[in-house]
Amino acid sequence: MIDLSCLPSERSAALSAALRPGVAAVAVRTVVEIGQPDLEGFVERLVGHFVELLGRPELSSAEILEFAGRAGAAEARAGRSLNRLNAALLAGSGVAVAELAEQADLLGLGCTPGEIGHLTREVLAYTELVAKAMTAGHTEAAAAASNDGDNRRRVLFDLLVHPGTRPVAIVEAAAEAGWRLPARVAAVVFHPARLRAVRKSRGPLKDAGAGETFGRPRPVLGPDVLTRREDGRLHAIIPDPDGPGRRHQLETGLAGWTAAIGPTVEVPEAADSLRWARDALELAVSGAITPDKLIVATDHMPLILLAREPALVELVAAERLAPLAAARPTLRPAMARTLLALIENHFKVTVVSDQLGVHPQTVRYRLRKLEELFGPDLYDTRKQLDLRLVLLARLARAADPVADD
């Protein structure tokens, strides 16, 4: 453990015996110097072992190194760094060296400056070994605590997104995970690439880039955000999503990912928010909606609802859009887009003109054609709702809403 070859064994044994009664005093002086009185026992044990080594260099230090490792682990479990222990170790070694030199002089051992220098280096070598043991214990305990914390957060995430979870179970899991329970949450689902916003033909959109996740930086999320990877996608629960700066933080932290955020809901309804976020992302991936960097599910609720009932949409579309089949195929896409815009804007021609980027006279011409095709049904408010929904669903899939798929 230490090399005392520079001193005859009888002199090192005498020095050890002289230092032994003052070990406790060295510990007291050390903790007073650093202002950490609770570390007195820690310092006393470390200094005491070195003093014993002076008298018996062959003594094993395994036990003291295990003790140092446990001390480091305890600091990690308490959420502290090794600063306190390192300060105690450094100060203790300084006090010990001073005491060692003083006792050697008092005993008249005749130690030369070179021998005192050698002993000082041995104190520092001993200190270094103890510091390494503390670091190893701290690192291992910190990693275990991190893994344990991650596991608890994953359990909490699973409870939040499982429909029907009892609120008391969520409260207990949040406490165990150290997660402050918010009033409201929103779920986010991430796609590992920015989706192209423009495409030349209908059909599923492809990733803008290789689409692989390898090497792609994760989205930058706050420490209070719960995350879970499932089915190759990253999912997150955002606490208080409508809080100041939260949406901006999410948008700027996407780092090349596309994401869909579900509605803001109360905590027990997080599963609903996640389901809607998934549905919105699927619409973007399939090409049904224009993929923004952050897709807001509530902006696409009609399409989300329609996507769940494709058979019903087809039945209603076959009836409500039948009049469009009488128009020339080359005109049908423009007629369909104009019809949807007219319904959504209460048949205000100038507003529709601005929205579609065409001349108002063009809108009026198409409106007359639509009146010929649909007759009085065009202004039936109940049928307008059906028309709007089926047009949204069909135009999301194809330019011509009445063409065969």
Closest by CA position to 375, among listed 309, 314, 322: 322
Average pLDDT over residues 214-241: 82
Q: Which residue has the higher pLDDT, 208 or 144?
A: 144
Per-residue pLDDT of 243-260, as tens digits, reads 888 888 888 888 778 899
Which residues is 185 bridged to in the sheet? 239, 265
Select from 403, 402, 288, 400 the least CA-distant residue to 334: 400
Closest C-alpha to 256, from 289, 296, 207, 290: 207
pLDDT higher at 89 or 104: 89
Q: According to the per-residue pLDDT averaged within each range, which of 220-224, 229-233, 269-273 is highest?
A: 269-273
40, amino acid identity:
E
Tokens coding 284? 């973007």
DSSP string, 377-388: GGG-HHHHHHHH
Residue 293 has pLDDT above 80, yes or no: no
Count of C-beta atoms within a 10 Å radius of residue 202: 14
At 147, the pLDDT band (50, 70, 90 cuts) reads low
Give me the chain's average pLDDT, please: 82
Q: Rounded to two decimals, what is the model's pTM?
A: 0.52
